[in-house]
């Protein structure tokens, strides 16, 4: 049986920028990290998709992970994104973030060059054989063009360092089949905020969340209630906040969540290109949903 790296909600944290996006705003980063810990967030995932890892240089990437680990100071687990479509590069990044103090690794499936199911097994086994930290696989076929099949999860779950998956394929039937095949040998986390309840009700242990940026207690409670078997309460909260979960994906992530944080006064800057600023129409739509939930005036 695999021990979960965390239970509840893990923020897939943004990377705040300053100077027109040229530099990471470490002062703001520290404030966001501390705010999240103070508001029930159970873990932090740094330098993932929401953290704009594709536009961070390797030195920026490693520096951001090191800074996050230092600020967290062991209060909650830090999961560092180190996925790549170059297996050797993923190993290199993984070994570097281990030196920074990360507790676990998040590894997205190879993208663009993609691979087969056999290739996924060889890719992840090679990484697992060359790192020391527990691994969380990240399955997000809408971005990568690759979907990990349940039977592939079964093979991957046999490696002791392959601990969990952040599942964002949107297919609840596939989630059920994976849980039936792997049981407790593969921890499952929802990678979509609109599916925290159903995935956790199937035996998942929580969510790696974008919603946490603007409503950390809500993301935590939806997951924690379901893990505790409080299904009625969890389902009610999931449905109550479903509109905001969807609004935060009205454009390519993390464009909307950075706009939402700026609306709340965080001043986290814009995304780096090729991600543009959220349009005026979508910003007003997002703001209207946030007003409904009392997040902005």
Q: Which residues are catalytic?
A: 138, 166
Answer whether 5's CB lies under 8 Å from 103's CB: yes
Q: Which helix (H) or strand (E) holds 200?
A: helix 196-201
- Average confidence (pLDDT) over 49-74: 98
pLDDT-above-90 percentage for the chain:
100
pLDDT confidence of residue 234: 98
- Average confidence (pLDDT) over 277-289: 98
pLDDT confidence of residue 49: 97
- Average confidence (pLDDT) over 148-171: 98
pLDDT-above-70 percentage for the chain:
100
Q: What secondary structure does DSSP assign to 159-188, as a single string? A: STTEEEEEE-S--HHHHHHHHHHHGGGSEE
pTM of the model: 0.97
Query: At which residue do the structure tokens 């230092």 appear?
Result: 70
Q: In the structure encoding, which two tokens stand for residue 21, read together?
A: 């996006």
Domain 8-228 architecture:
Alpha-Beta Barrel (3.20)
């Amino acid at each position: 049986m695999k021990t979960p790296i965390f239970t509840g909600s893990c923020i897939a944290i943004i990377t705040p920028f300053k100077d027109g996006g040229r530099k990471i705003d470490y002062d703001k980063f520290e404030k966001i990290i501390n705010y999240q810990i103070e508001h029930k967030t159970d873990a932090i995932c740094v330098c993932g998709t929401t953290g704009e890892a594709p536009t961070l240089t390797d030195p920026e990437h490693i520096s951001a992970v090191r800074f996050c680990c230092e600020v967290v100071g062991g209060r909650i687990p830090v999961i560092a994104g180190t996925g790549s479509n170059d297996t050797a590069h993923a190993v290199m990044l993984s070994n570097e973030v281990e030196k920074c103090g990360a507790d676990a690794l998040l590894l997205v499936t190879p993208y663009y060059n993609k691979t087969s199911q056999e290739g996924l097994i060889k890719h992840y086994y090679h990484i697992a054989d060359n790192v020391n930290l527990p691994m969380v696989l990240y399955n997000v076929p809408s971005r990568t063009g690759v979907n990990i099949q349940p039977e592939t999860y079964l093979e991957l779950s046999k490696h002791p360092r392959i601990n969990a998956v952040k599942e964002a394929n949107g297919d609840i039937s596939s989630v059920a089949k994976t849980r039936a095949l792997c049981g407790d040998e593969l921890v499952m986390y929802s990678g979509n905020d609109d599916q925290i309840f159903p995935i956790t009700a199937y035996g998942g242990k929580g969510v790696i969340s974008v919603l946490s940026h603007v409503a950390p207690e809500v993301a935590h409670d939806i997951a924690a209630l379901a893990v505790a078997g409080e299904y009625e309460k969890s389902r009610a909260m999931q449905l109550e906040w479903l509109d905001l979960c969807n609004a935060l994906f009205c454009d390519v992530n993390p464009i909307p969540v950075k706009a939402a944080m700026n609306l709340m006064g965080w001043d986290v800057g814009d995304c780096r290109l090729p991600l543009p600023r959220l349009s005026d129409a979508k910003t007003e739509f997002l703001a209207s949903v946030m007003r409904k939930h009392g997040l902005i005036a």
